[in-house]
Structure 1
């Protein structure tokens, strides 16, 4: 790809004998697109000694192999037009019913929309010339929408993308009027290849925003055009538990991230102070379990009819874990739920619709057993639970293992030993081989009580609906995709947090990939692998730690994408505030890079939401200048240099446009040298810095070493 970028894609394709005729898949890198088949074929020489030619290179093999290595592959038509709301359109092939010819269509000026008046062609250069040079109407559509004759730019379009050979033939730019979001917003084929990405850059460059956009793209294959729609979709995916977010810190460890031992109270409704240590999954294992469940889930098409809005939800235990496993297994096999409370008595009679009657009869016939659960739990199971209600079967207090819909009324069926005699028929909607964390669908933990109604406010119906959604078995690449976002990934000890799992996150070692691996977890003693429909996005503030200091094993397993300050994004804020913010940011960063390094530059996010001069002043006072103090370890002379403060001859004090400095005399009789006291300039009457502060910042230059800059050694 470096060679392709250096010589140009047209020269690259010509040099290695590749035609543009069937190019539709590209590698996306830093908003540039490289033809996937050609890149793969040329790279083949490093394995076999000679590149593949166009005849011997398989495009499908090429893109699948590249995707398995973690590259982003996008599908791109030869001609794309982008509407003002960001949606992609393209000319479409249509079949002429009279001639059976399949071709693109455009119409001469003044012609009608009838097929017989259209000009048909399979020559993309001719079609592009008609659209962009001759300004004729071309048959265009957006996805599955109806096709229409449209012109460019007309009233609808703001930008376009042309395949490089077409752009060259027309003498036009390959793309114009679109940003990176639109460049990458077209279809991304679901290859099943997982992504491990780290977005790194200085503070304030929008890394968190980029993670949201990337997470939605990985889940959906495309990104909404506007920010509000994007964040709404991101929130929806979070609610469905398809996106999880965690922030790393110095105390993060394997036990919190993967799995560890947690105290659990004994499963007894009669109380007791005992507890035991149980292995409990961390956030990584939890989202892996959700992704794996989606990957292995069988068809559940009948679940589409389940109504989650007009019925009650119940927690219903089916035997104690480890001692009554047969109760649960028999219930799953028999299509019922069963209650142990209520004794060996048939409660089918209509009079037991009354809770008072159930309590009365129980106390009359069972004077020795005074446990209230025999009637307080039996009656809801007998009378309050209705057909259509949803039952969630727990696995301990913090996980669940099955979900059912009640389909029948109360039945008395005597158990083998006289226990578990009370049943209701159900339709099992979800049966999990590996329990999922309870907070996937219910907020908080379950109590020890066998049966009780779950309040509506605790339910996450979006996540439950996804688990129960209708879906036919499909190839791995089309399954629900999941994303784990790790903010500040460089602030934890990665080797300590991931342990032996560092190998499992490699794309080709994922479950569902040819070289899939599993390890035995140390606490639960269960085999564990990372599914290939889970993507990992990390963010890294380079001002905190350089990439060079990261664990080498981590660096090899992630693709690093730099997120740089973008002064151009401040154009609107500059208009609102009347301050040349683009030049201000560029000047600040040039000086920081000169005096320190590029990893400590300042991002555009510090100013992008400013609406007035007052907002800019406060961003400088409360955010930018304190950050500079931290960068330069309170070396105020360098802070002053970055802010473009003009220096004064030794022995004087002055008030600058951002800073103030004054001389401090030695208060002792020792005759020590003067010292300099720096401070941020106090607010003027209008609440800001000097009226020409930003103009002077832009016009000032970095003082050269040895100049008369005011520093802590001046006057010595």
Structure 2
């Protein structure tokens, strides 16, 4: 199944949304089925995810209320010049940079030979004319006469071999130099490339004055080294941000039909960067959303229309019916969620991730004290009667070993005031397996 350019994983907390962005990202980049990536194991997927992140093909950010268009697309930032003056300069945002790099590959991404990884903007670019006897079709490294090179050529400089006044057949990096020899590693083009910066009629060698990295990236990319491939921009907790404030007019550009390379492609003019911008077709946006934090209907309608949604619900079978001191965690989770769905809704169920690390009864006790009960207190606004129904015994849900009712005072009885409940303070109660088993025994 081909995945959409815009995907949103949504569901209750603890259902593995952020966890599965790793599998989805690798699936998209390698253009392989999601199920196939899962079958290979999470450890391998995580290893690949880390590699692709270093290569610039995956980026991750979390949305929040203070995030803005300036951070995401473009903005103005103050800077201090060398003489101490305050200036304001345009700065590209995270998404703009990612789209720019996806459209124009960087050396580190592996789309170009690794010999250029060490190239920096401090490197010089020189055009050279390599004698035909030395210019073999298949060599990658050569030793050439230093007299063919400009004075001052040093390791790390870039050499452009010219076959005509305006065209090059290969480009290389100087690996080492001494008075007698110069070692160069080469990358040969499949066809001669026109050289931006070359001037007809000038004698060689001469220096090309322009940013070295940009020159090399563009030339090698156009020289048939391949494109960046699929890239994935992950937005965690996408519903926590102010979508209109973050995306601005670019929300329209996310549509697959409006992407660069499509017949209905749209471009917008970015005032600060002073350039036209469109979202490349090879950029995938993968978002996650916690439905317990904010309902799906509250998500910006413009964004919802442009995304395909994949629901991720609690799956008790992920726990493989694991038992700790006789407590079946899969059955325990299933019963708790069945009751939450009846008393509240399905968007506030408890995810299986809460129980993944539970290996002992002590772990289970800590999980309930520090995670499950505080979550239920938040969901039910400290309505302990409902919490008792969620955690109560199967034969009488009003009886819950973890919650006790304080003795009623004369004041409460006189004015018919509600009961007051407390969480049990005795830790030993949470270490009793029967307290958990009685929740589901006979119900499943």
The normalised TM-score by structure 1 is 0.47
Query: Are 2:121 and 2:213, in contact at CA under 8 Å, matched by a contact in 1?
Result: no
- State the alpha-carbon separation in 2 of the partners of residues 247 and 586 from structure 1: 30
Q: Could you say which residue in structure 1 is the equivalent of 2:115?
A: 306
Which structure has more RCO (C-alpha within 8 Å, separation ≥ 6)? 2
Quote how far apart the aligned CAs of 1:492 are: 1.0
CA deviations on 1:651-706 (whole Å, 9 max, x unpaired) are xxx984222221242569x9433543322223444x734331122111488xxxxx
CA deviations on 1:549-571 (whole Å, 9 max, x unpaired) are 22211111000110011111111
Q: Which moved more, 1:224-233 or 1:525-534?
A: 224-233
Q: Secondary structure at the match of 2:294?
A: coil
Query: Are 1:566 and 1:603, in contact at CA under 8 Å, matched by a contact in 2?
Result: yes
Query: Are 1:409 and 1:424, in contact at CA under 8 Å, matched by a contact in 2?
Result: no
Structure 1: which 5+ residue stretches go unaligned? Answer: 1-27, 29-70, 73-193, 318-330, 336-381, 392-402, 411-422, 436-466, 649-653, 702-716
Does the alignment pair 1:281 with 2:96? no
- Work out which of the residue numbers 214, 238, 245 in structure 2 matches 1:431: 214
Quote how far apart the aligned CAs of 1:264 are: 2.1
Number of residue pairs aligned between Structure 1 and Structure 2: 379
- State the alpha-carbon separation in 1 of the partners of residues 243 and 211 from structure 2: 41
- State the alpha-carbon separation in 1 of the partners of residues 246 and 442 from structure 2: 47
- Work out which of the residue numbers 307, 325, 347 in structure 2 matches 1:599: 347
Query: Are 1:665 and 1:673, in contact at CA under 8 Å, matched by a contact in 2?
Result: no
Within 5 Å, give how 1:95-106 maps onto structure 2: none
CA deviations on 1:57-99 (whole Å, 9 max, x unpaired) are xxxxxxxxxxxxxx53xxxxxxxxxxxxxxxxxxxxxxxxxxx
Q: Secondary structure at the match of 2:419?
A: strand
- State the alpha-carbon separation in 2 of the partners of residues 656 and 593 from structure 1: 19
Does the alignment pair 1:682 with 2:434? no
- State the alpha-carbon separation in 2 of the partners of residues 610 and 628 from structure 1: 19
- State the alpha-carbon separation in 1 of the partners of residues 114 and 47 from structure 2: 26
Q: Secondary structure at the match of 2:24?
A: helix
Within 5 Å, give how 1:354-373 maps onto structure 2: none
Query: Are 1:404 and 1:428, in contact at CA under 8 Å, matched by a contact in 2?
Result: no
Q: Which moved more, 1:499-508 or 1:424-433?
A: 424-433
Q: Could you say which residue in structure 2 is the equivalent of 1:512?
A: 261
Does the alignment pair 1:316 with 2:126? no
Does the alignment pair 1:202 with 2:8? no
Distance 1:544 1:538, change over 3 A: same
Within 5 Å, give how 1:477-496 maps onto structure 2: 479-496=228-245
- Work out which of the residue numbers 209, 221, 224 in structure 1 matches 2:31: 221
Specify the structure having the higher radius of gyration (Cα): 1
Does the alignment pair 1:691 with 2:439? no
- State the alpha-carbon separation in 1 of the partners of residues 7 and 120 from structure 2: 41
Q: Secondary structure at the match of 1:230?
A: helix
- State the alpha-carbon separation in 1 of the partners of residues 24 and 262 from structure 2: 22
- State the alpha-carbon separation in 2 of the partners of residues 556 and 507 from structure 1: 12
Q: Could you say which residue in structure 2 is the equivalent of 1:125?
A: none
- State the alpha-carbon separation in 2 of the partners of residues 259 and 427 from structure 1: 24
Distance 1:424 1:664, change over 3 A: farther
- State the alpha-carbon separation in 2 of the partners of residues 497 and 428 from structure 1: 31
- Work out which of the residue numbers 545, 550, 559 in structure 1 matches 2:308: 559
Q: Could you say which residue in structure 1 is the equivalent of 2:76?
A: 261
Within 5 Å, give how 1:383-532 maps onto structure 2: 386-388=154-156, 405-406=173-174, 430-431=213-214, 472=224, 479-532=228-281
- State the alpha-carbon separation in 2 of the partners of residues 643 and 511 from structure 1: 53
Distance 1:332 1:388, change over 3 A: closer
Q: Secondary structure at the match of 1:277?
A: strand
Does the alignment pair 1:581 with 2:308? no
- State the alpha-carbon separation in 2 of the partners of residues 471 and 568 from structure 1: 51
- Work out which of the residue numbers 618, 621, 631 in structure 1 matches 2:379: 631
- State the alpha-carbon separation in 2 of the partners of residues 641 and 700 from structure 1: 16
- Work out which of the residue numbers 215, 225, 231 in structure 1 matches 2:46: 231
The normalised TM-score by structure 2 is 0.74
Query: Are 2:291 and 2:348, in contact at CA under 8 Å, matched by a contact in 1?
Result: yes
Distance 1:491 1:256, change over 3 A: same
- State the alpha-carbon separation in 2 of the partners of residues 390 and 618 from structure 1: 60
Query: Are 1:406 and 1:427, in contact at CA under 8 Å, matched by a contact in 2?
Result: no
Q: Secondary structure at the match of 2:105?
A: helix
Query: Are 2:154 and 2:174, in contact at CA under 8 Å, matched by a contact in 1?
Result: yes
Structure 2: which 5+ residue stretches go unaligned? Answer: 129-150, 160-170, 179-205
Query: Are 2:74 and 2:90, in contact at CA under 8 Å, matched by a contact in 1?
Result: yes
Q: Secondary structure at the match of 1:503?
A: helix
Quote how far apart the aligned CAs of 1:524 are: 1.9
Does the alignment pair 1:659 with 2:407? no
Q: Secondary structure at the match of 2:104?
A: helix
Quote how far apart the aligned CAs of 1:575 are: 3.6
Distance 1:684 1:408, change over 3 A: closer
Q: Could you say which residue in structure 2 is the equivalent of 1:641?
A: 389
Within 5 Å, give how 1:26-105 maps onto structure 2: 28=1, 72=3
